[in-house]
Each structure stands twice: as structure tokens, then as C-alpha cells.
Chain A
């Protein structure tokens, strides 16, 4: 299916909607081609190729709104689909409605975050996987499990007011874990929007080296520690901050940032920005689902909460302007960036009197999103630091905190940052190492 086909789909959908007399219509068509290779025990387990296209349509009529998506794009199916969606609106009540922009915009694709070399990479994935596995083995990993994803996604938009455009992103990511004796494991990631920025050997080396260092790990004493979060761990937690910054979350009672606009929500070192598109960003596009131009939105600056993420509906409720973050229902981030610090990783370790370095985590769950209380489970490399030196490896623990306290206790950030996107981090995030004071570490009682 070609680029032209996406535009034809949109034309067919919006034309059908206009004929039905809608007040507003948006057609968003998307096409993706993704390739994947997975491996475990240093052997390929499956190769995966998915080629899909989808059409999403938003309609508004007399303050009634409906959204639908379909993957049935053949022949006259689109016209019927739009007709069915329109018919389904007849019994609906009025809902919060804000008209779409009536001045048409035209969006040219951004070239940021796009590399033609990633469009068809199927045949090279096995050799890239082998490079990662071999590198991990050379660094001390006895066996490795992982996945490489590579692909391209294109989204085209057309609104009833005539806003139109399309944009494409490419991305390649590797997530590798290596295992050694005594269930020791290490983790490595490489995430890039271009093939030249992809480094499977370095990710494999980190995973293998991490596994080697974890061989004699023991459980820590429960208590409060300074914790040095890797970009992988910090990104996982920052993503929950960005979710809390969605105005929909604030309204729904699931945000610890409610009532804190302009107030301190982090230490002066902590700044968080969301970009529609940005150099090296693995996600996002130049327009949002409502046809509003995306932009850089400062969520937290110097520890102060600068703003929520809005679509047209939430912006109207909050008497502000859309931030280009739609979701028709829920505003959301595209590419997150945490401001860099001025320290090296080594300087941060030397600052720790008694602390723990965490390189990976999973299963972050909240007791209460309104208060931000959560816990998360570290995995792979974890190390106890005493007097500025790593003294041993750790396992079998859990880190718990609340987001307000935690980000207010950020004391240092590294200059070095990495793009992170993997199984535990959906939103691509450019993230430094982050040193946080006073994090609660627990372990099982029995």
C-alpha cells in the first residue's frame, strides 16, 4: 500500500463524512511494516514480520462525538464504515465538544527521526542479533535472550476543514539480557531512529558484563538508600510522571500532579520536556490526532510544574490552548527528554556514601496514582556502593516511594544521556543517569 493510498483512504473517509453533514471529521490513516527477531539461550526463537494499515475516523455532529478504527480498507468498506459510525451517534448524548481548527494547515513530513535504511531490514536482523549475542558472550554472559525490532510507520491526516499532511518515523531497538552462573543476569539496550546510531555490540557487551558482575549477588538490608538510577530505570519512572501530566489523568483523579501547576514537583535539577518530533526521537509526528501542530512542551522546568498536556477538549476545560498532544480522548506525550546534568557517572558514584546502583527494573505498580505511591522491582545489575565505591552485587529487593518525594530528592544528573524505548518504556525517552536520595528498599519477609 503506497503513501498515495493513505491519502486516498483519508479522502474517501472525509468525503463520506461531509456528505452525511457532520460538523467535524478527522481521518487518520496509518501504515506500518515491522520486522523482529527474537532469541533465547543464544539461539533464534522466532522471526516476525507484520505489515498493517489502519484507518481511524473521528466525527462530531451536534456536540455528539464518536471515534472508530478499522483495518478493513478494501473497496467500498470505508464508505460503509463511516456510515455505520455516523449512524451509531444518533443515540448518543452531547459530550464535551470543541470545534476543530477551521483554518486548514498543511504539514510536510519532518526528516527528524527517519532513516531510509531501516525501511527493509529483514535480511540483516539475524547478523545483527548474532553480533549482540557474540559480544555478550565475549564479555562474560553464558547465554543471552533478546529481541531486535526494526520498522517504519507512516501516519497521514485529513480533516473536514482541509488540514492535511503525513509524517513517517523509523526506529530500531535491541533489548538483550545475558545470564551467567547462579542466575546472575545483565541488561543492555540500544535504541535509535537510524541504523548508524544502532550499536548491538555495545548493548551485548553491557549485558554480558552485567551478568558476569552479578554472579555473587546477595540481598541488601531493608532501609533508605541513595539510589543511582540508570537511564533505563529513570525512563520507566519518568514515563509515569508524563502520564500524570495528561490533563485527562488530572480530571480522572489519577494524577499526583493535580492542583500543582506552578508548584514544586521536583528538585531544581529536574526538568522534563515532551517533543512532537526531535533529533534522534524514535516516536512522534508533526501533527497530533486533531490536526494541531505538535511542539516542545515543558512539563517540569527546574522542578516547577509548568503545564499539563492538552488536546482541544481538555484545553477548553482548563481555559488554555491545546499543546498538540491529542489523542482524541486522552492527551499523551510523544518523545520525552529529561534535562542533562553536569556530572559523569563516575562522579555520581563517588558522591554516594551508602547507596545502590540500579540498571534495570520492571513491574512498576501504584498503590494510588492520586498520591503517586508506587513500588518497582529491580532486576539484572544492581550494586551496593559504600564510600563512593562499588562493594558488592545485590538481588532480591524492591524499591518504593512516591513520585513527588522521589523527583524532589534528585540530587545529580549525568551529562551523558541515552534514548530508551523497550518492553517497560513505551514512550521514547532521552534520559541521563539520576541520583536520588532516601529511596525505600524492601525485601521479602520470608
Chain B
């Protein structure tokens, strides 16, 4: 972060914690900067910017984990806080049955930053507003072929800078710029309404807006809403094939593969909040899907919303092959869970702010591409439904029973896309979903999302994505 004072404070915190009795200590000085602008039905809302700066200290002492954070950056205060983290960890031993230990991952020592053509710091209120007005200009006053009386458009520019140090020798400096859009569109036609929530974002600078075709994609979504309201018919109720778009493939990969394969959930650490997992520690190698079911998580995808080349435990990240040819292949691991599995961390530990403990997170989770073109895949379907976009979705806390309600969905008849169908519901178990995968296209797309986990809650930027995915023999419901 180019601030030698911050580096000294981090080093001092680790040193103070070690001398207070910590077997292991780490410190992360992190700054978060963001600017936001909002248009509500075309009206400018007050501009907003925020800047946060502080230190998070994590220690292991007598087998217990302690975390402490503050934005009072006086050296003496940080020293006292480091000692407090050690003391609180030691005091918790009355309820400690499973001591914490770390794997022997190689400590990273480097700087990192994604490519950035136009620095994110140049995103002032005027630029943010102009982008939103461009969006507004495409969809207001019925310009997208539908009345949209509810339009809430948000654009934000963020910069995270961190300096991380641990007592195993890691020294990591990272810069993470990001542009993110969120839109809530409410369409009305003939007394009926439809709603679409759109999220777009990538790491990088101001160039992100053009790269993701933000203005064009919001307009396309708005046009589709009008068609849904005007023409969508009741979906078929018999057993059929379902083609999931990249958007649907991505959310299914995230919810029913990524989450249950977080090793902390498998081991029960998130039991009281986001829940545990239908998978157990001995589930590696279990067949869960067809040979066509292949799902991965890759923190190093260029421009990705979940770009993390070195994690918040100072470990170099790598691609994780979560499901390979239908078999549970790998869990997302940090240094403590990896130690319990007798493995090395695959770099899945992330924290969103200085005041949050790093925990296991996904990055960019996706269905791997196949070898069909999209057209060839659709031609495989005699009778089916193509889920293009979704609205409501949820899943149980073991990640076994999930539901996706489509907004834009089409009937497929003898290999051709036909008319729109209204709100088909895919409510399905995880083994059934991944066991039904028959084919995948080679056309890949990614959506940005914010993944919620942890206590206190941490909203982590991720990508979800994949190709068109063909599921055979599915029963749908309707809303």
C-alpha cells in the first residue's frame, strides 16, 4: 500500500503478539475506499464516498484462535490490542476441545495487482452519474419497449489495499480495484409486474463499464422483461429436459457445489450461521454427478470479480477442481482445515475488511465448458425449457435442496427455441441436478455476485458462471 508506516505497524503487531505468548501471529493493515452514486427513477440521490483504514490481528495461543481489530492506529494501542487477542485466545481454553493448528504452506512474499487501464481512483461522482444516465437513457420512458416505473440504479468504484505479514514469513502487498453495478428494475404491463435484479462487475478500472457492456446488457434485460409480461405462457408440467444458461449454471455451481465444498462447513465451523454441508470429511472421491458434471473455482481468472492471487493467510492461490467427471474431487481449504485433512491450503482464505477474520470463501465458481456450440446443445433437446435468467432462488443449509425461479425462459420444441414460458421453477436436490447433466456448451459467460458468509457477515465479491448446461429428465414446478 506504499505506506511504510502501515508496514511497520503490521510488523510491530506480530512481534508484540509473539512476545505475549502467541505461537503464531499475523496482521493485515487494510484500507477500503469507495465511491457510489445512485439514480432512483432518474433522480440523483446524494453522492456517497467512504474510506476505511485499520488493522486486523490474528493469533494462535494454547491452541486457540484469537482475532482483534481496530482503526485506532496509534502504535501503543495496536500493541495493547495484540496482547488482548492473545489473552482472549488463552482464556477461551475452557471451551477448547479441538486445538487449532496450521499447515506448512509456503509463505508468499510478493506484491500483486490486476491490470487496470484507467485507475479506479478517477471514478468521481460525475463519471459514476454519467454512466448511470447512459443506462437510464436506454430504459426510461418506455425506450426499451416496456414501462419501468421502478428503476434503482447503483454504480460503485472500490479500491482495497492491504499489507499482510505473518510469523511464518509471508509478506504480501495487494491492490484490488473494482467497479460494480447493481440495478433493480420493476416492469409493468397490463396490470402484471416483473422484477429483475442485475449485478455486473469486475476487477479493474473505469474500463470495466465498456468491457462488461453494462449499458447494453441492462437494456437487453429490460426488453426481455417486456416480452415476458406480454407473451409468457404457462410452463409444461411433464418430465422434460432443461437447458441452464451461463447465469443459471453459475448460480447452481456456486450454491450447490462451491458452498458445500467449503472445508470449514464440512467440518462444522459455520454450523450456527450458514450451516454445515451434506458432504463429510470422507466424501472426497464420492460420485455425485454424471461424467459431464465438472465444476471448478479459479481465483486467477483475468478481470474476475473474485480475483485473489494470494489469499489472506499469505498463500498463493490456485485453481480448484471441485467436481471432476462427476466425482467430488477437492474442497476449498485454508491453512487450518488443510492441516486437518492432511493437505496443503489451496488459498481459499479471504477477508473483506481489516475488521473481519479471514474465512474460507469461493472466488470464481463455474461449470467447466464442454464441446457443443449453443445451437448444437439446443438441437439435442426434443422437449424442454431453456432457463435464461432467474429471480427468486434459495437452498437449504446443507446445500441439498435448491430452487431457482426463472424470469426469462423459453420452451424448446424439437431442437428449436419457441415462446416464453412464465416463471418455471426448478426445485431439485443437488445429486439429482448434477446427476442429470448430459452435455455442456463451449460458450462461457460470467456474472458478478456478492457471496454472504461469516459472523459478522462478510459480503465477498465473486463471479459465477459457466456454459449452457443440459439437464435430462427434469420435472418443473411453476409460480
Contact = CB atoms under 8 A, between A and B. Distances in A.
Interface stretch (A229-237, A279-287, A297-305, A371-379): A371-379
Given A66-B48, A88-B47, A362 B397 contact: yes
A92 B50 CA distance: 17
Given A251-B40, A444-B427, A47 B269 contact: no
A144 B397 CA distance: 16
Given A43-B96, A379-B397, A423-B455, 14 more contacts: A44-B95, A47-B64, A51-B81, A53-B72, A95-B45, A96-B43, A143-B268, A254-B152, A329-B45, A369-B195, A370-B193, A379-B275, A396-B396, A444-B401
Contacts of B115: none
Interface in A1-22: 1
A377 B396 contact: yes
A363 B267 CA distance: 21
Contacts, number: 273
B342 interface: no
A42 B268 CA distance: 10
B89 interface: yes
B4 interface: no
Q: Among A35, A39, A91, A444, which residue has the most Cβ atoms of chain B within 10 A?
A: A444
Contacts of A147: 272-273, 455
Contact of B195 (A43, A92, A175, A370): A370
B73 A50 contact: no
B66 interface: yes
A49 B85 contact: yes
Nearest to A251: B40
Contact of B44 (A38, A93, A127, A423): A93
A396 B150 CA distance: 35
Contacts of A442: 403, 427, 477
A391 interface: no
Interface string B46-68: 11111111100000000011111
A277 interface: no
Contacts of A179: 268, 271, 276
A102 B129 CA distance: 31
A365 B392 contact: yes
A375 B150 contact: no
Contacts of B85: 49
B48 A67 contact: yes
B392 A366 contact: yes
Contacts of A36: 455-456
B6 to A, nearest CB: 12
B66 A46 contact: yes
B68 A89 contact: no
Given A38-B455, A91-B126, A365-B392, A446 B46 contact: no
| Contact-size category for A | 35 or more
Interface in A87-116: 88-89, 91-96
Contacts of A81: 51
B162 to A, nearest CB: 15
Contacts of B48: 66-68, 329
Interface string B33-49: 00000101101111111
Contacts of A445: 427-428, 474-477
Nearest to B96: A44
Contact of B186 (A71, A143, A370, A398): A370
Contacts of A66: 46-49, 125
A36 B125 CA distance: 38
Contacts of A143: 268
Contact of B51 (A35, A72, A96, A444): A72
Given A47-B89, A130-B94, A373 B392 contact: yes
A364 B393 CA distance: 9
A174 to B, nearest CB: 9
B373 interface: no
Interface in B398-457: 398, 400-403, 405, 423, 427-429, 432, 455-457
A223 interface: no
B474 A446 contact: yes
B138 interface: no
A398 to B, nearest CB: 6
Contact of B394 (A53, A65, A328, A364): A364
8 contacts: A45-B100, A47-B67, A68-B50, A329-B46, A371-B193, A375-B392, A377-B394, A446-B432
A395 to B, nearest CB: 9
A217 interface: no
B479 interface: yes
A373 B84 CA distance: 48
A69 B50 contact: yes
Given A49-B68, A51-B70, A252-B184, A71 B395 contact: no
Given A375-B394, A379-B396, A39 B125 contact: no
Contacts of A369: 184, 186, 195
Interface in B71-96: 71-73, 81, 84-85, 88-89, 91-96
Nearest to B94: A126
Interface string B366-403: 00000000000000000000000001111111101111
A311 B108 CA distance: 50
List the 7 closest pairs (A to B, CB-CB), nearest first.
Answer: A253-B150, A145-B271, A253-B186, A43-B97, A363-B394, A65-B46, A367-B392
Contact of B395 (A328, A366, A377): A377
A70 interface: yes
B98 interface: yes
A442 B126 CA distance: 48
Contacts of A51: 68-70, 72, 81
Contacts of B152: 252-254
A243 B65 CA distance: 37
A73 interface: yes
Nearest to B473: A446
Interface string A19-57: 000000000000000011111111111111111111000
A358 interface: no
B355 A52 contact: yes
Contact of A89 (B47, B69, B456): B47
Interface in A364-420: 364-371, 373-377, 379, 396, 398
A72 B72 CA distance: 8
B124 interface: yes
Contacts of A37: 92, 95
Contact of A92 (B47, B81, B269, B476): B47
A67 B67 CA distance: 31
Contact of B427 (A126, A248, A398): A398
B357 interface: yes
Contacts of B151: 252-253
B392 A48 contact: no
Contact of B272 (A89, A122, A176): A176
B259 to A, nearest CB: 11
Contacts of A43: 95-98
Nearest to B427: A444
B312 to A, nearest CB: 14
B157 to A, nearest CB: 13
Nearest to B431: A446
Interface string A234-255: 0000000000000010011110
Contact of A48 (B67, B126, B273, B275): B67
B233 interface: no
A92 to B, nearest CB: 6
B195 A368 contact: yes
A346 interface: no
Interface string A118-147: 000011011101100100000000010111
A183 B403 CA distance: 21
Given A126-B94, A367-B479, A396-B396, A1 B46 contact: no
A252 B150 contact: yes
Contact of A375 (B40, B267, B403, B475): B403
A177 interface: yes
Given A40-B268, A71-B71, A92-B44, A367 B195 contact: yes
